[in-house]
Chains A and B, each alone.
Chain A
Amino acid sequence: MRYGKFLALSEVSVAFARNTLTAIIGPNGAGKTTFFNVISGALRPSYGRVIFDGRDITGSPQHAFARMGIAKSFQITNVFPQLSTHENVRVAVQMRRARFDILTPRDSLTELTDKADQLLATVGLADARRRPAADLAHGQQRCLEIALALACEPKLLLLDEPTAGMSPEETVAMMDLIVTLAGERTVILVEHKMKLVMGICQRVIVLHHGELLAEGSPEEVRANAEVKRVYLGQGV
């Protein structure tokens, strides 16, 4: 992936198995976010391809990704601020379940309202359903991000530093949630806090200076000499 003269990612070729939980780690500037943006549809790669479920989806528009079953949560919280928490999720659920409609009153579509309530309960936001999303605490907004991603019934869930800015208690709760979700779908996690991911992931990918440094199980990566060199003193 080239930004002008800057090669942010080069020769990164990875494959993700179905229903696994994979973490992408690496120091700042390693290209994690660029990689994430390429596989989540926010960026079109300068070279290379993105293949999902056997289909080449390189260059598809952003909105096509959710429809194909690829959902993401953003590193910087991206919700609908003035809408209520419940409406945030309801409108996200609506994408999958309702066709283009300009006349039916949406309040009559109870299937969507119920599904939204279910998702809110899953992420622990049932009590906050009436409040405007902008009024939620930071940790709650991160949970809302996850609910929005789940709303489109994804086969692949891409999470960009979901625990960013969360307290230790909230982080544990979020990680538990992610492990639960990973049981039923493929999850790719970009994370900074390596200790968290090592315990729960099946596979770890390490990026460094835009290149693939190492990949494998957490134990393999932990034992890798190159990884140790890069993270020396950072307690892998």
Chain B
Amino acid sequence: MRDAVDYISRHRVAAVVLFLIAFPWLMPYEALAINILIFGLFAVGFNLLFGYTGMLSFGHAAFLGSGSYFAGMAVVHGSWPWYAAIAAGTLGATAIGLLMGLLAIRARGIYFSMVTLALAQCVYYIFYQADRWTGGENGLRGVKVSAIKLFGVELNFVDPLTKYYIVLAFVALALWFVSRVLASPFGAVIETVRENERRSAACGYDVARTKLVVFVLSAAICGLAGTLRALHLSVVPIDSLHYLTSGHAVMMCLLGGMGTFFGPFVGAAVFLYLEDVVTTWTKHWMLVVGTVFIVFVLFFPRGIWGSILHWVRRGDA
């Protein structure tokens, strides 16, 4: 059993993508599956900073939201093609990540978290006020992409299943990238920063620069998730930038397992599925999800996926 798990670990991207290819058939409807893909990617991007580098940001909605807005504005105001919009959204979010990172990295621990929260609120208000461009509190509407032309093939983006697989293509690419980074020499440096900053610096690593690079990479991944969300929903709600969305990223990672590659995805899936299911019974879905969350943090600190992995691997010398 453990050999199987180790094999899957070594080919983790392929395993996850295969699972995600089959995923729509496990979900009651495709829109939920697409939402899980997008927020799964958001959580994976966030986890790069949180689980692997050990930095808790309360401001990651800034990247999801600005990714959505830049992509949305490119389509609505500039009539840009879909691929340019995705690029614009991702680059825009990355730029905001660089600015926020430069300011936030100087702070440590809880102060870092507070600074990211404050900076994300600044981003929220800037987008809120620029309502000529962003639609203000009504959000940005009309982000319509109905067809995607790829290598001469025209794909119907409106059909939910087609949309799912197009989004999956981008998510798969991003997951491959994150996996490579984590397995690279730089990935090892990231972990030393989480484990012991003093020791990392004493060994010769520029801790501040490492933190900044990870911050920017994390912002880029979350920005990409944002662009996909804008195209999926055809609107960009102002809530994309709200601190509650930042909180969702934290919860999804803790629920799924912050120290693992696939954990954030599992956390996103459970969180969104529960939200979907529970809202059919009661409008107090947050109470139920919140209770589940508390139970996990108290009794399964490794998260769902982290606990599963640990249970399978226990007894390892």
Number of A-B contacts (CB under 8 A): 91
Instruction: Flag B109-145 by CB within 8 Å of A: 1 or 0 each.
Output: 0000000000000000000000000000000000000
Asked whether A106 lies within 8 Å of B183 as measured between CB atoms, the reply is yes
Contact A80 B192, CB 8 Å, known A62-B201, A92-B203, A130-B317: yes
In the assembled complex, the Cα of A105 lies from the Cα of B199 at a distance in Å of 23
- B188 is an interface residue with CB less than 8 A from chain A: yes
- B189 is an interface residue with CB less than 8 A from chain A: yes
Q: List 9 A-B contacts (CB under 8 A).
A: A62-B198, A65-B202, A66-B202, A74-B198, A80-B199, A81-B195, A101-B186, A106-B184, A148-B199
9 new A-B contacts at CB < 8 Å, known A81-B196, A91-B192, A98-B185: A61-B201, A62-B201, A63-B205, A67-B204, A82-B195, A102-B186, A103-B180, A103-B181, A130-B317
Asked whether B202 lies within 8 Å of A74 as measured between CB atoms, the reply is yes
Instruction: Flag A40-70 by CB within 8 Å of B: 1 or 0 each.
Output: 1000000000000000000001111111000
Contact A94 B202, CB 8 Å, known A82-B195, A83-B191, A130-B317: no
In the assembled complex, the Cα of A16 lies from the Cα of B206 at a distance in Å of 27
Nearest chain B CB to A132 CB, angstrom units: 10
Instruction: Flag B267-301 by CB within 8 Å of A: 1 or 0 each.
Output: 00000000000000000000000000000000000
Asked whether B187 lies within 8 Å of A106 as measured between CB atoms, the reply is yes
Which residues on the B side are within 8 Å of A131 (C-beta)? Answer: 317
Partner of B188, one of A71, A96, A106: A106
- A78 is an interface residue with CB less than 8 A from chain B: yes
- B207 is an interface residue with CB less than 8 A from chain A: yes
Asked whether A148 lies within 8 Å of B185 as measured between CB atoms, the reply is no
- A109 is an interface residue with CB less than 8 A from chain B: yes
In the assembled complex, the Cα of A96 lies from the Cα of B187 at a distance in Å of 16
Chain B interface, DSSP helix/strand/loop, else mixed: helix
In the assembled complex, the Cα of A130 lies from the Cα of B133 at a distance in Å of 56
- A95 is an interface residue with CB less than 8 A from chain B: yes
Contact A91 B186, CB 8 Å, known A80-B195, A81-B195, A130-B317: no
Q: Which of A66, A67, A103, A151 has the most CB of B within 10 A?
A: A103
Nearest chain A CB to B193 CB, angstrom units: 10
Interface size class of A (residues with CB under 8 A): 35 or more
- Give me the 3 closest cross-chain CB pairs, A-B, nearest first: A66-B204, A80-B195, A62-B201
Instruction: Flag A82-108 by CB within 8 Å of B: 1 or 0 each.
Output: 110001001110111010111111110
- A192 is an interface residue with CB less than 8 A from chain B: no
Which residues on the A side are within 8 Å of B199 (C-beta)? Answer: 74, 78-80, 148
In the assembled complex, the Cα of A96 lies from the Cα of B196 at a distance in Å of 19
Asked whether B204 lies within 8 Å of A109 as measured between CB atoms, the reply is no
Asked whether B191 lies within 8 Å of A63 as measured between CB atoms, the reply is no
Q: Which of B180, B191, B196 has the most CB of A within 10 A?
A: B196
In the assembled complex, the Cα of A64 lies from the Cα of B208 at a distance in Å of 13
Asked whether A95 lies within 8 Å of B203 as measured between CB atoms, the reply is yes
- A152 is an interface residue with CB less than 8 A from chain B: yes
For B199, give the chain A residue with the smallest CB separation.
A78
Nearest chain A CB to B177 CB, angstrom units: 9
Asked whether B204 lies within 8 Å of A105 as measured between CB atoms, the reply is no
Which residues on the A side are within 8 Å of B201 (C-beta)? Answer: 61-63
In the assembled complex, the Cα of A209 lies from the Cα of B298 at a distance in Å of 50
Asked whether A90 lies within 8 Å of B203 as measured between CB atoms, the reply is no
In the assembled complex, the Cα of A106 lies from the Cα of B183 at a distance in Å of 6
Nearest chain B CB to A28 CB, angstrom units: 23
Which residues on the B side are within 8 Å of A130 (C-beta)? Answer: 317
Q: Which of B188, B192, B202 has the most CB of A within 10 A?
A: B202
In the assembled complex, the Cα of A62 lies from the Cα of B181 at a distance in Å of 25
Which residues on the A side are within 8 Å of B187 (C-beta)? Answer: 102, 106
